[in-house]
Amino acid sequence: MLDHLICDCDGVLVDSEVIADHVLLETLTTTFPGIDFVSIVKTAFGQQTSRFLAGLETSLNIQLPENFLQTVEHNVEVALASRLSPIGGVRDALQRVTLPAAVVSNSGMQRVLASVRRAGLQQIFGERIFSADQVERPKPYPDVYLFAAQQLGVEPARCLVVEDSIAGLNAARAAGMKTIAFVGASHIPDGYADVLRKMGITRIMQHMDELPALVEAGVRGDFGDVQS
């Protein structure tokens, strides 16, 4: 049985990852015009920007300018303010779900709050919004999911999580939660669903209109002990 639905934000509620990746690529290319970052930026999927940039400095043996992270985040915020859109059908799907719903994100709290507001989902989630800002370790560690369950007063095993990234799915599963993988956002590469299936993930959703039926199956206990 399930007591709570938890949704990632970027790539699940809002189609933001493709915007953020474009801004990150543009900012890096402008700063280091001699380096091709196209394939490298694709590996940022599911990571906090700060950790991705720290790894980039090490792997490429470069030094980013002071306040580079703040520059990227500012540029992303500007782009999101004018271009962000909700995932197609997400509001209708969440309104049809019978469980209370929360948000758990690796993004900063202010960005998550702004994304929820821009998507018109404030009434659905209320104050049940959590960010990796609130814990020591971000996804793929389970900390933020465990923190959210504690704050919500629910057992992790009775939570169902919708995630788009492998890091997020691993974080939720490590917390003992059941998962659904959503592969319908603009940034999802071809063949990604097959990659997830090879990892043993069986609940994979292409469109948000599939969500209510999947949640109801979980509420009935149809998932059994299968986490994802």
The neighbour count for residue 113, using CB atoms within 10 Å, is 18
Spell out the alpha helix ranges (H) of the chain. Answer: 17-31, 38-41, 49-60, 68-83, 90-96, 109-118, 122-125, 143-152, 166-174, 192-198, 211-220
Closest of 172, 181, 178 to residue 157, by C-alpha: 178
How many structural domains are present in the chain? 2
Q: What is the pLDDT along the chain (228 residues), one digit of tens a residue?
A: 899 999 999 999 999 989 999 999 999 999 999 999 999 998 888 788 988 999 999 999 999 999 999 999 999 999 999 999 999 999 999 999 999 999 999 999 999 999 999 999 999 999 999 999 999 999 999 999 999 999 999 999 999 999 999 999 999 999 999 999 999 999 998 999 999 999 999 999 999 999 999 999 999 999 999 999
Same domain for 165 and 215?
A: yes
Same domain for 60 and 94?
A: no
Q: What is the pTM (predicted TM-score) of this model?
A: 0.90
Same domain for 62 and 99?
A: no
Same domain for 101 and 137?
A: yes
- Domain assignment of residue 207, yes or no: yes
Which of 67, 83, 99 is the last residue before a domain boundary?
Answer: 83
What stretch of H or E contains 135?
A: none
